[in-house]
Amino acid sequence: MCGIAGTWNVDDSYNVLHDVLLALQHRGQQSTGVVINGFKSVKGEGLVHDVLTDSNFVEGKRGIGHVRYSTYGSINEIQPITAYTFKGTFSVAHNGNIIDADERRKYVMENGGIFSTTLDTELFVHYFSLAPYRDPKSSLQWTLSRIPAAYSLVMLHSSFIAAARDRYGIRPLFYGKFGDGYVIASEDSALSSIGCDDIREVEAGTIVFFSDNTPGPEIVTFSQKDSHFCSFEFVYFARPDSNFFGVSVHELRKRLGMKLYQEHKVIGDIVVGVPDSGFSGAMGYSHASGIAMDYGLIRNHYVGRSFIMPKDRQEIVRRKLAPMHSVIQGKEIILIDDSIVRGTTMKVIVDMVREAGAKKVYVGIHSPAVIGPCNYGLDTSRRNELIASENEEEALRELIGADGLFYLSTEGYKQVFEECGVNGICTGCFDLNYPI
Amino acid sequence: MCGIAGTWNVDDSYNVLHDVLLALQHRGQQSTGVVINGFKSVKGEGLVHDVLTDSNFVEGKRGIGHVRYSTYGSINEIQPITAYTFKGTFSVAHNGNIIDADERRKYVMENGGIFSTTLDTELFVHYFSLAPYRDPKSSLQWTLSRIPAAYSLVMLHSSFIAAARDRYGIRPLFYGKFGDGYVIASEDSALSSIGCDDIREVEAGTIVFFSDNTPGPEIVTFSQKDSHFCSFEFVYFARPDSNFFGVSVHELRKRLGMKLYQEHKVIGDIVVGVPDSGFSGAMGYSHASGIAMDYGLIRNHYVGRSFIMPKDRQEIVRRKLAPMHSVIQGKEIILIDDSIVRGTTMKVIVDMVREAGAKKVYVGIHSPAVIGPCNYGLDTSRRNELIASENEEEALRELIGADGLFYLSTEGYKQVFEECGVNGICTGCFDLNYPI
Amino acid sequence: MCGIAGTWNVDDSYNVLHDVLLALQHRGQQSTGVVINGFKSVKGEGLVHDVLTDSNFVEGKRGIGHVRYSTYGSINEIQPITAYTFKGTFSVAHNGNIIDADERRKYVMENGGIFSTTLDTELFVHYFSLAPYRDPKSSLQWTLSRIPAAYSLVMLHSSFIAAARDRYGIRPLFYGKFGDGYVIASEDSALSSIGCDDIREVEAGTIVFFSDNTPGPEIVTFSQKDSHFCSFEFVYFARPDSNFFGVSVHELRKRLGMKLYQEHKVIGDIVVGVPDSGFSGAMGYSHASGIAMDYGLIRNHYVGRSFIMPKDRQEIVRRKLAPMHSVIQGKEIILIDDSIVRGTTMKVIVDMVREAGAKKVYVGIHSPAVIGPCNYGLDTSRRNELIASENEEEALRELIGADGLFYLSTEGYKQVFEECGVNGICTGCFDLNYPI
Amino acid sequence: MCGIAGTWNVDDSYNVLHDVLLALQHRGQQSTGVVINGFKSVKGEGLVHDVLTDSNFVEGKRGIGHVRYSTYGSINEIQPITAYTFKGTFSVAHNGNIIDADERRKYVMENGGIFSTTLDTELFVHYFSLAPYRDPKSSLQWTLSRIPAAYSLVMLHSSFIAAARDRYGIRPLFYGKFGDGYVIASEDSALSSIGCDDIREVEAGTIVFFSDNTPGPEIVTFSQKDSHFCSFEFVYFARPDSNFFGVSVHELRKRLGMKLYQEHKVIGDIVVGVPDSGFSGAMGYSHASGIAMDYGLIRNHYVGRSFIMPKDRQEIVRRKLAPMHSVIQGKEIILIDDSIVRGTTMKVIVDMVREAGAKKVYVGIHSPAVIGPCNYGLDTSRRNELIASENEEEALRELIGADGLFYLSTEGYKQVFEECGVNGICTGCFDLNYPI
C-alpha cells in the first residue's frame, strides 16, 4: 500500500510533489520521501506535511516521491532509493510487491551484490546494473521485462524520468500535463486536484519516458499487456473522485451497491452507509431499492487524537462513530459497507445501532467475501475474516450480531465491472483465481 | 464563536478537557486554554492538540477550558482568565458577547478598576468583586443578574465549579455524569463522545454549582428565563450529532431542506449537498422531493495544507472541491447549502458544476437570507452578502451565475423550529427582531 | 534572580530585546517574556531562544523584557505583566523582591483589589492605580516612593518607557544609546555586546523616563539615595565583563583573590580556579602570590544534556569537571572559588583533585562565609552551608576533605570594595548588617 | 573532521553513544548518526541532542556512531552506512579521508559496483565484499591492507564490532572498559567523561575486534605501523583534556607556548590568550616569560544565536569577544593563539585590543605558519593564509595591524613533540613533508 509521484520540467517540484503526495496520503501514512534532481533527498517517518516541510525545501525542476503504509524502523528504508552506477545515477520508488523478492535478492547477493536496504525496490537497482546494455533506458526495459509483477514505478535518472507499470497493470499509474511539464501520480484525482490537463493512464507493460531530448512523453512497450487490475483499488482503496479506465470510483461503488440490492432485495426503513467507506455503495443501494438513505452514524473526526485511553478496540469504535438516535430509533436499518475488515469492529457498530433503538439491523457488503491472500502489494492481513463456506458466513453473522448479513456474489461483482466497461481485473482474493 | 468545557471530580481532568475541547474544535480553532485546580493554566495559540500536549500535562480533578475562534495576538488574551480576590481565587471562561462591554469596562476603570486583558470576560471578574456579598456563590448570582446577555459561562472557584447561561439562553451549555463526577460542554455530542450519562441542558437564567459540600449539582435561578436560543447554532454552527432541547441538529437541518422543497418545488435530476455543511439539508430536500441525492462534489481534505499557492480565492475553492463528472454530466443539478457565506465562493462552485457538464444549476439555501448583524457572539461579518430586498436577491443570483437561487422564508424557517418543538429562538439576523 | 531589559525608539525592538536578554541569560533560565508597544506579549517557559523565536516576532519600536530564575508553573505568572487602567495601559517587569509583599497584597485585596497573578510585581500596578494623581508619571513616582525596596524595574506605558531603581540601589540597571534610541539592561556588558554607546547607570532612587515629548532621557528623583548595592552581584552573579560604578567585575574578583592571599598566605605549587566562577579570583591569588595558575580542572560543557543518568549529585559533578592529571600529579594544589554553594559539591571536587594525584588540596574562597539569608531577591537557599563560627568552619573543612579551607574576612572583603572605589554595598548575608 | 564512537555489550547503547558523541561534538556539528544492533539507524542533520532525542531511542547493546563537520544535503549521506552482503550485514563509520577515493570509486563502478551514497566510506563496503575470503574478519583485514590511509574506523557486524586505524595512525582512536563491555571513541576524554576504565589507544595498522566468542578485545595487525599522527590534533582540534600517546593536549600546548617565548623572547605587560583556543599556549608563554597572564578578551557565549544581524564578519567577531578595558588599558599586550584561521578575524581582534587602550599589540602563534594543504581529512581550506616566505609573513603582520607577529619555527615545533615523547607526527601542512 503506497502512493508514488513524479515531476518533469516543473518549477519548484518539491512543492508540487508535496501536494500530489498529500492527495495520495490515503495510500500510505507511515513514511514520506522525495528525491529532487541532483539527487537531493528529503525523507522521514510520518505524514507528508511533517516530512516535506517548508524548511526542508529543495530547489529543482524534476523529482520523484513516495508515501508508504509501513516503515521498517530506519530512515534508510524509506523510498525513493538512490544508486550511483556506471550507467549513471538514479532514484527509484515503487508501489506494489515483487512476488519472489526474497529469492531474487538471495541470488543477487550470492553473486557479490551489495544491498543498502532491505526493500524489494532495491532489486530494480541491481537488475538495472546487471542489464546487458550500456544505455540506461534499454537497461530499464530489460529490468522490467525480467521482473514480471506487481509494481507501478517511477524513476529519476540524470537524463530522464520514467513511469512504468508491470505487464499485468495491477497497481494504477497516471500522468498529466502541468504547465510546460508533466506530473505523475498513482491516482488521477491527485493530478486533477493540482490542475493537470490531458491526464492519461500509464498502460500495463509500458514505460513512459520524459527526456531532455524528446519533446513529449515517449512510450515504450517492454512486455505484452495482460491486464489484471486490482479490483480492490475500486472497492475501497482509491479516493471516490478517482477514475480507472475512465470509470469513476464513486460511480462503480454505487453500481456495486445497486447490484447488491438486486441480488438480495433486503428491505428495511433506512439505508445507512458506514462512514466514510460505505457512503457510495449505500447510495447505490438506496437508488436501486428506493429506500431512503440517511446519516445514521456520524464520524467523530478527532478521535484518533483523544487522550482518554479507551479500554479496548470496541471502545475505540464507539468513540469514533456517533449513532444518530433520531434517524435510527424504531427503524429497520440496512447498514452498507465496502467490506468487513474485522468482525469485531462490525459487531460494535451493529451493537451501537441496536442500542440507538433500531428494530432490525441488516448488514450488506458490496463486495464478495475475501477468501484468499493478496500477493500483489495489498495488506489483506487486515481483512482477517476469511470466509470459505456458507457455514462460516452464518457464523460471522452471529458473531456480529446482525439480523442478516449479505455479500455481493463474485459473479455479480464481476458483472458490475464488465457493465462499466472495466475488463481484466484481478479477483484472486475472492475466487483464488490469481493471474500470475 | 467559542467552545467551553469544565470538569468536576474527574481524574486527570486535563485529559478529559482535552478530549471535550477536541470535540468542540469546530467552535474555535485559534486559541486553546485550560485552568486546572490550584489555578495552573496551560494556554496557547492554535488547535487543542497543539496546546494541550502530553508534556504540558497538569494533575488535577477539576478544571475549565476554552477554545476560541480568534485571538488578539497575545497569550494573556486567552481564556480562561484567573483572578485573585478577597472572595477567593477563581478562573472564568465564556462563550458569547457581553453586549455593552465597552461602556461597562469604561465605568469600572473610571472607578479605579484594573484590567489585565482586553477581554469582555474580565467584566465578570470585576462584577464578582464588586458584588455586595462576601459569599462567592451569591456574588456570582449577583454578577449574572447584572449582566443580561449573551453568554454561557464556566467558572472554577477554589470551592466549586459553576456552569451558567444568561437569561435568554442564547448560547448552549450542557453537563453530564462522568464516573463519580461531572463534565460540562457547549454541545451534548462532546459529552456523549467521551461516554457521559444523564446529559442535561443548563437552563437559561440558571447556574449549576458543583461544590465540595453538596452531593450532586445544585441549580440556582438568578433570573427569569426568556428563551431566545440562537437558531444559527442549529443551522450551521453545531455538529450534526448535537441536540438542543432534545432535537437533533441533523434532523432539524433535514426538515429545513424538506421545507425548502415545499416552499419552492424546484425540480431537477439530482440533489447535491455542498460538502459538508449542505449534506443534511440536501437529504431533506431529496426525501421531500423524491429527487435522488448524490455526491456531485467531493471535498479534498488536505487542501488547507497545500504548497502550490492558489492565485486567488476562486482557485482555493477549486482545489478544495472536486466535481464528480459522472454524477453531474448532462444533469439539472439542485445544489443545497445551509447559507451563503460569500457570493464569490458560491460563484466558483456553480462554475465548477457547470464546467463538469451540468445542464442547469439551481442553488437552494435552507435558511433565510441574512439581513442584519449579530450582537450575541456570532461573527456575521463573514456572512457578507446581506440581502434586504428581492432585487438584491436577483442581483446575487446573477453574481453567482445560477439558473435559480431560492431561500427558505423566515416564516417557513420559524415553522420548522416550531414543528420540531423548539420555541423561543433568536432570528434577529433574518428579521431584525432582536430579543434584547 | 532576574534580568530585565527595555528599548525606546529602536527598530525591531523584539530582536534587540532578544539579544539583550540572551546576554542576561545567566540571570535567569526558567522563563522569558517581552511586551512590545501595543502591548503585544510573547512569553513562555524556557530559554530566550526557545521563547523569542523568529516565528513569534512582533513588530514595534519600544518594549520591555524579562528573564527569570524560577516560574510558578503557569504562563500567566511570567513577567512583564500588563494592566489596563484609567491612567492608561502599561506593562511592568522587575528584578528583586518587594520585602513585605504579602502584607501589602493582603491589604490591597481587602480593599477590593483584584490580582491576576501571584507575582509581587503586580503590587506596582495597584499602587500605580491608587496613586492620588491622574498623571501616569507622577503616579509612578508616588508608587516607587511608597515601596522602599528591593527592585530594579522597567515599565512600558503608552506614552513612555521608564527605568527605575529603588532608593538603596540593591539590584543593578543601565541604559545606553543605540542608534537614535535607547536600550535598558540589568548589566552594562549586555549593552556593550550589542554596540550601545554612552552607557550609564540608573541611579538609586531615580526614574529615567524616555517619552515622546522629551528629546533625551529625563531623570526624576523619587527618593533620596542610600546606596546598598548587593556585593554578590560582583562576587558571582554578574558576567565578568560587566562593570558596576565603573569597576570591572573581573578586576574586583581578581582583587578579592589577591586580598585572600594577603590575608592567608597559603602556599602551594599551583593555583587552580574552579571553572568558571573561580578563574578571576584564582588569577588574583596567582598574581599576588607568584604561584603559577593552571587549568587543573576542565569543564565538560555538554554534561547537562547527557543521557546516562548519574546515580547521584556527586556523579554529576564528576562528569561535569575533568581533572588534568598532568597539571595536578604530585602537586600541592590551591583551589580557588568565589563561594561554596554546597559543601557536597566541593567535597567531590577535592576528592577528584586528590585522586588525580595532588599531594595537598587547599580550598580558598574569595568572599566571606555566608551566615544569613538575603531578602532582596537573591536565592541564598542554595548557599546552604551557613557558617556562624570557627568551629563550623573546621567542620566544613572536614566535610569537604580539604587540607585547608580559608575564607576572605568580612573586613578584607569590604576593604577591597573600598579600595576599588565602590562604597555603599550590602553585606547583610555575611555580617547580618541588613540595610533595610 | 569527524568523531566516531562504538559500544560493545553496553546496556542502552543508544544513550551511551549519545553521551560519547556529545563529548566529541567539537569534531563535527553538521550531522549525527548511529546504528544499533539489528541495524536500526537514527540519523539527521544537526547536533547530537537534536538528532539523538529521547523519542528516537532504539534498544540495543552494541552500536556505532558518527558526528561530521559537513553534510552534502541529503539524509542518505550521513554515516554510519549499512550494507547487506553475502558475508553478512554490517555498518561502518570513519574519520579521515581516503586519499585516492575518486579513482578507487571509478574503478569499482566500472566493474559493476553500485554505490548508494557519494561518501568515500562506501569504498570500505565494496572492498569488504570483493575481498577473497568468506570470513568477514579476514575480509576486513584484507580491506584495510588495501586502503593505506587516512582513516580511523568503527564497524558493526552482526557478529562483532571492530575499531581500526590506518597504518600511519593519522587520526586518533581509543577504547575503554565500561561495565562488562567496551566503548570506543576518537578521543580518550570522551571515554573518561562517561567513566570508562583501562583506556587504550588503537595502535596504527591494527584492528581491535570485540566478538561474541572472544572474552576480551582481540587485536589483529593488518599492516606494519608507520606512525604519522596529525600534529594539528594536538594543536587545536582535540579537547584540552584529551591525551594522545599518554601526553596531555593542554600540557603540550603549554609547552608550545613556552617554546614560542624561548624562540622569540617578545616582552610585554600582559599575556592574553585568544578565547578559548589560545588559553593553554598563553599559559605556557606566561610561565616561561614570567609575564602575568590575564583575561583581556571575554567570549560572549550566546552570540551565535543573536538576532541583530551583524553587517559583516568583522562585526561578528566584535560581538563574539568583549575586550576587558581594565586589563588592557595602557598595557603592552602579547596576544597568543594556536593558529591564524583568517587574517581578517585576527585583524578585528587586534583592532579591538588597541581600541581598548593597549599601547602595543604583539601576536604570537604557537605553531608554524601553514604553507600546504592537508589530504588526510583536515579542512585546511579554512586556514587560508598560507605563508611561504618571510615577506608574506610581514605582509600578514601589516594586514592584521599588529606591532609584531611571530610564529613558532617548524624545528621548535617538532622539538616540543619530541621532548614530550611524541614521535612520528605528520607536519605536512607546515613543511610539505607528507608521509604518504
Q: Minimal Cα distance from C124: which residue of B?
A: B114
How many interchain CB pairs under 8 A, C with D? 118
Q: Minimal Cα distance from A195: which residue of B?
A: B319
Q: Do B16 and A327 touch (CB under 8 A)?
A: no
Active site residue C420: no
D292: nearest CB among C193, C250, C287: C287
pLDDT digits (tens, 9 = 90+) for C334-355: 999 999 877 888 999 999 999 9
Q: Do D279 and C295 touch (CB under 8 A)?
A: yes
Grid cell digits, residue B380: 456575521
The yes-or-no verdict on residue C99 having pLDDT over 80 is yes
Contact partners, residue D214, CB within 8 Å, separation at least 6? none
C73: nearest CB among B40, B81, B110: B40
pLDDT digits (tens, 9 = 90+) for A164-203: 999 999 999 999 999 999 999 999 999 998 889 999 999 9
Per-chain mean pLDDT for chain D: 91
Q: Which amino acid is at B126?
A: H
What letter would DSSP give residue C368? P
Q: How far apart are CA B24 and CA B185, in angstroms?
A: 8
To the nearest whole percent, how much of chain A has pLDDT over 70? Answer: 94
How many interchain CB pairs under 8 A, A with B? 120
pLDDT digits (tens, 9 = 90+) for A104-138: 999 999 888 999 999 999 999 999 999 999 999 99
| Residues C354-368, mean pLDDT to the nearest whole number | 96
Give the strand pairing for B270-273 and B247-248.
unpaired
Q: How many CA atoms lie within 13 A of A314 on its CB side?
A: 9
The yes-or-no verdict on residue C310 having pLDDT over 90 is no
| Residues B289-318, mean pLDDT to the nearest whole number | 80
Of D194, D213, D142, D246, the C-alpha closest to D7 is D194
Q: Which chains touch A (3 or more CB pairs under 8 A)?
A: B, D
The yes-or-no verdict on residue B418 having pLDDT over 90 is yes
Q: How far apart are CA B35 and CA A26, in angstroms?
A: 37
Q: Residue B336 phi/psi, 5° resolution?
A: -120, 135
pLDDT digits (tens, 9 = 90+) for D222-242: 999 999 999 999 998 899 999
The pLDDT, as a whole number, for residue C215 is 83
The pLDDT, as a whole number, for residue D273 is 97
SS3 assignment for A176-217:
EEECCEEEEECCHHHHHHCCCEEEEECCCCEEEEEECCCCCC
Q: Do D326 and C248 touch (CB under 8 A)?
A: yes
On chain D, the residues whose CB falls within 8 A of the CB of A44 are 75
Q: Residue D265 phi/psi, 5° resolution?
A: 50, 35
Q: Do B82 and C116 touch (CB under 8 A)?
A: yes
Per-chain mean pLDDT for chain A: 91
Q: Which chains touch D (3 or more CB pairs under 8 A)?
A: A, C
On chain A, the residues whose CB falls within 8 A of the CB of B322 are 189, 192-193, 241
Q: How far apart are CA A223 and CA A200, in angstroms?
A: 19
Work out the end-to-end distance of chain B between its first and last CA atoms, rounded to an integer number of angstroms. Answer: 19
Mutate to test the interface with D, among A77, A90, A92, A114 (most CBs of D within 10 A): A114
The yes-or-no verdict on residue B340 having pLDDT over 90 is no
Chains A and D touch (3+ CB pairs under 8 A): yes
Q: Do B319 and A195 touch (CB under 8 A)?
A: yes
- What's the length of chain D? 436
* Torsion angle of C-alpha atoms A283, A284, A285, A290, degrees rounded to 10: 80
The yes-or-no verdict on residue B379 having pLDDT over 90 is no
Per-chain mean pLDDT for chain B: 91
Q: How far apart are CA A135 and CA A123, in angstroms?
A: 18
Burial status of residue A215 (CB atoms within 10 A of its CB: 0-12, 13-18, 19 or more): exposed
Contact partners, residue A347, CB within 8 Å, separation at least 6? A314, A399, A400, A401
Chain region(s) in chain D for CATH 3.60.20.10: 3-227
C307-315: long-range contacts at Cβ-Cβ below 8 A with a sequence spacing of 24 or more? Answer: C307/D12, C307/D14, C307/D15, C307/D16, C307/D18, C307/D19, C307/D52, C307/D54, C308/D12, C308/D15, C308/D16, C308/D19, C308/D194, C313/C342, C313/C344, C313/C345, C313/C348, C314/C344, C314/C347, C314/C348
Of B244, B255, B238, the C-alpha closest to B416 is B255
Q: How far apart are CA B45 and CA D208, in angstroms?
A: 55
Residue D336 CA, distance from chain mean position: 21
On chain B, the residues whose CB falls within 8 A of the CB of C73 are 40, 58
Q: Which residues pair with residue D248 across a beta bridge?
A: D243
Q: What is the dihedral sign for C-alpha C4, C9, C15, C19? A: negative
Question: Which segments within C243-284 are labelled E, that is strand?
Answer: 243-244, 247-248, 270-273
Distances in whole angstroms, Cα of residue C274 to Cα of each of C299, C342, C410, D380: 9, 14, 22, 35
In this prediction, residue B122 has a pLDDT band, given cuts at 50, 70 and 90, of very high
Q: What is the ipTM of this complex?
A: 0.88
Q: Which residues pair with residue D34 across a beta bridge?
A: D42, D65
C-beta separation of A302 from B193 below 8 A: no
Q: How far apart are CA B270 and CA A234, in angstroms?
A: 23
Q: Residue C195 phi/psi, 5° resolution?
A: 95, 25
The yes-or-no verdict on residue A39 having pLDDT over 60 is yes
| Residues C302-315, mean pLDDT to the nearest whole number | 69
Question: Which segments within B46-97 are labelled E, that is strand?
Answer: 63-68, 81-85, 88-96
In this prediction, residue D254 has a pLDDT band, given cuts at 50, 70 and 90, of very high
Q: Minimal Cα distance from C81: which residue of B?
A: B116
Choice among A146-155, C9-18, C120-129, D388-397 with the minimum mean pLDDT: D388-397
* Nearest chain C CA: its distance from B414 CA (Å): 44
- What's the length of chain C? 436
Contact partners, residue C5, CB within 8 Å, separation at least 6? C17, C20, C21, C24, C64, C65, C66, C154, C183, C184, C185, C186, C190
pLDDT digits (tens, 9 = 90+) for D81-94: 999 999 999 999 99
The pLDDT, as a whole number, for residue C112 is 87
The CA-based angle D78-D82-D84, given to 5 degrees, is 155
C-beta separation of C170 from C94 below 8 A: no
In this prediction, residue A379 has a pLDDT band, given cuts at 50, 70 and 90, of low
Q: Residue B296 phi/psi, 5° resolution?
A: -85, -15
The yes-or-no verdict on residue A381 having pLDDT over 60 is no
The C-side interface with B (CB below 8 A) comprises 39-44, 58, 73-76, 81-86, 109-110, 112-118, 125-126, 129-130
Chain region(s) in chain A for CATH 3.40.50.2020: 248-431
Contact partners, residue A307, CB within 8 Å, separation at least 6? B12, B14, B15, B16, B18, B19, B52, B54
Higher pLDDT among residues A402 and B383, named by residue: A402
Q: Do C250 and D189 touch (CB under 8 A)?
A: no
Please name the residue that has the C-alpha cell 559533578: C317
Q: How far apart are CA B57 and CA C137, in angstroms?
A: 42
The pLDDT, as a whole number, for residue B278 is 94
Q: Do D240 and C295 touch (CB under 8 A)?
A: yes
The yes-or-no verdict on residue D31 having pLDDT over 60 is yes
Of A44, A39, A1, A38, the C-alpha closest to A18 is A44
Q: How far apart are CA D424 and CA B43, in angstroms?
A: 63
The pLDDT, as a whole number, for residue C301 is 72
Q: Do B241 and A25 touch (CB under 8 A)?
A: no
Please name the residue that has the C-alpha cell 429506500: A291
Set B2, B420, B426, B429: catalytic member = B2
D3-227 homologous superfamily? Aminohydrolase, N-terminal nucleophile (Ntn) domain (3.60.20.10)
Q: What is the dihedral sign for C-alpha B50, B53, B58, B63? A: positive
pTM tops 0.90? no
**Count of Cβ atoms closer than 10 Å to residue B20 Cβ:** 30
The yes-or-no verdict on residue C290 having pLDDT over 90 is yes
Q: Do A23 and B283 touch (CB under 8 A)?
A: no
Q: Do C83 and B114 touch (CB under 8 A)?
A: yes
Q: What's C248-431's CATH class?
A: alpha beta
Higher pLDDT among residues C319 and B361, named by residue: B361
C86: nearest CB among B81, B109, B118: B109
Q: Which residues pair with residue D378 across a beta bridge?
A: none
On chain B, the residues whose CB falls within 8 A of the CB of C83 are 114-116
Q: How far apart are CA A433 and CA B82, in angstroms?
A: 69
Q: Do D327 and C16 touch (CB under 8 A)?
A: no
Higher pLDDT among residues D2 and D391, named by residue: D2
Choice among A257-266, A342-351, B32-41, C324-333 with the minimum mean pLDDT: A342-351
* Nearest chain C CA: its distance from D18 CA (Å): 7
Higher pLDDT among residues A75 and A133, named by residue: A133
Chains A and C touch (3+ CB pairs under 8 A): no
* Nearest chain C CA: its distance from B49 CA (Å): 18
On chain B, the residues whose CB falls within 8 A of the CB of A23 are 300, 302
Mutate to test the interface with D, among C193, C253, C270, C298 (most CBs of D within 10 A): C193
Q: How far apart are CA A54 and CA A50, in angstroms?
A: 10
- Respond yes or no on whether the N-terminal peptide bond of residue A212 is cis (omega within 30° of 0): no
Q: Do B75 and C117 touch (CB under 8 A)?
A: no
Set A2, A230, A374, A426: catalytic member = A2
| Residues B232-252, mean pLDDT to the nearest whole number | 94
Choice among A171-185, B101-115, B371-385 with the minimum mean pLDDT: B371-385
B129: nearest CB among C43, C74, C114: C114
Please name the residue that has the C-alpha cell 433500531: A358
- Respond yes or no on whether the N-terminal peptide bond of residue A322 is cis (omega within 30° of 0): no
Q: Minimal Cα distance from C10: which residue of D?
A: D308
